[in-house]
Amino acid sequence: MAKVIKTEAYLVDIEVETVRTDATQAFLKQETLFVEVTTDEGLTGTGYAYTIGTGGRAVLAMLRDHLLPALAGHDSREIEGAWRTMYDSTRATMVGALTALGLAAVDLALWDLRCLRAGEPLWRVAGGARPAVPVYDTERGWLQLGEDELVAGAREAERQGFSGVKIKVGKPSPGEDAARIRAVREAVGPGLDIMVDANQAFTGAEAVRRAALLEPYDIGWLEEPLPAEDVAGHERLAASTSVPVAVGESMYSLGHFREYLQRGAAGIVQPDVARIGGITPWLKVAHLAEAFNAEVCPHFLMEIHVSLAAAVPNARYVEYIPQLRAVTQRGIRIDGGLAHAPSEPGLGIAWDADAIDDRRVA
């Protein structure tokens, strides 16, 4: 058997590597939840989740008080059963961000155990579509950057072999948004994908207006144009523009993705493995999208998403935002415009235990 005999959850603060602002918020620090699950076979799996500055201690309390006690004595090989047991034990707070984040940290630890037990990397155990996936850069596209900085960043990303860049939009003036994207497109030409991200900043009417302004610059997608709960607004927007609409980082259930896809409200889905509740539901979202002939481009967390994107056939991109370098021994390998999934058994993240201990806050 692979019975769970010990669990531990703790909170680590990781400072941001650079200033990151968008139309609705600033990324102040990464509150990182770690979970370790040990079994009677002598294996320990490590999982994690995150917030961008608030709520970390609330998630930690959810883990310690409810989720991990529900896992005690469970057969760690039965991941679907464990996920459902924890979900059922916290129905009063589901579907919701805090519980989903806690679920994710545990689920990742169980998948780490599964891969360690199998002696295989995550990308292969989870599906094994191909070992590497195209990667685009977000780190040079934040909202506080001026046109010259955006152009220089896009050129550098292209020089380094990235297949695309993402630029934040949501300036008070629609014309300023358009000018920023036009400057980058004119600088790099047609060969580099340019995606834009509004971080839920627009009303329905304003999203239609700005999409029309940006269409001439051949953008790859318009991400989170409206609040995530406004499915009808996204549906109207998608019907009004040739620009693909991308959503998902602020969605916490498989059913929410289903509603978007059924209504044609999104053409690209961006599940975040922490916010959706772990690898178990992330894969369901990816396969659901495949059934609707839609692409998957996961949000953030490149260190884990490179393996998940490599596992499924409909993943288009991995997003490059380095944030774990302070607590890992190495980053993901990028070569020839592709992010390569780790090949060693487990999740493939080389944690630096000493660095993590130094940043532990609870």
Per-residue pLDDT tens digits for 8-20: 999 999 998 888 9
Residue 216 has pLDDT above 90, yes or no: yes
pLDDT in tens, 37-46: 999 999 999 9
pLDDT in tens, 148-172: 999 999 999 999 999 999 999 999 9
What residue type is assigned to position 134 of the chain? P
How far apart, in whole angstroms, are the C-alpha atoms of residue 345 and residue 311? 14
pLDDT in tens, 257-297: 999 999 999 999 999 999 999 999 999 999 999 999 999 99
On whether the CB atoms of residues 303 and 328 are closer than 8 A, the answer is yes
Residue 134: pLDDT band (50, 70, 90) is very high
| Of 278 and 1, more confident | 278
Active site residue 284: no
Q: What are phi and psi of 355, to 5 degrees?
A: -65, -35
Q: Which residue in the list 74, 166, 256, 299 is annotated as catalytic?
A: 299
> CATH 3.30.390.10 occupies which residues in the chain?
4-119+352-358
The fold of 124-340 is: TIM Barrel (3.20.20)
pLDDT in tens, 87-112: 999 988 888 899 999 999 999 999 99
Q: Which residue in the list 168, 234, 256, 305 is annotated as catalytic?
A: 168
Active site residue 299: yes
Burial 46-79 (b: 16+ CB within 10 A, else e): bbbbbbbeebbebbbebbbebbbebbeebebbeb
Rounded average pLDDT over 214-233 = 98
How high does pLDDT run on average in the chain? 96
On whether the CB atoms of residues 168 and 154 are closer than 8 A, the answer is no
What does pTM read for this prediction? 0.97
- What pLDDT sits at residue 199? 97
- What pLDDT sits at residue 3? 96
Residue 26: pLDDT band (50, 70, 90) is confident
CATH of domain 4-119+352-358: 3.30.390.10
Residue 53 has pLDDT above 90, yes or no: no
Burial 115-139 (b: 16+ CB within 10 A, else e): bbbeebbbbbbbbbbebbbbbbbbb
How far apart, in whole angstroms, are the C-alpha atoms of residue 245 and residue 173? 21
How far apart, in whole angstroms, are the C-alpha atoms of residue 106 and residue 108? 5
Residue 242 has pLDDT above 90, yes or no: yes
Which residue is associated with the tokens 């980058």? 184
- What pLDDT sits at residue 14? 95
| E strand residue ranges, the chain | 4-15, 29-39, 44-51, 132-137, 164-168, 193-197, 222-223, 245-247, 268-269, 295-296, 318-320, 333-335, 338-340
How far apart, in whole angstroms, are the C-alpha atoms of residue 186 and residue 209? 22
Residue 183 has pLDDT above 90, yes or no: yes
- What pLDDT sits at residue 28? 82
- What pLDDT sits at residue 296? 98
Residue 342 has pLDDT above 90, yes or no: yes
How far apart, in whole angstroms, are the C-alpha atoms of residue 47 and residue 37? 8
Residue 1: pLDDT band (50, 70, 90) is confident
Q: Which residues lie closer than 8 Å to 111 by C-beta, 6 or more apart?
A: 45, 47, 79, 122, 125, 126, 278, 279, 280, 347
> CATH 3.20.20.120 occupies which residues in the chain?
124-340
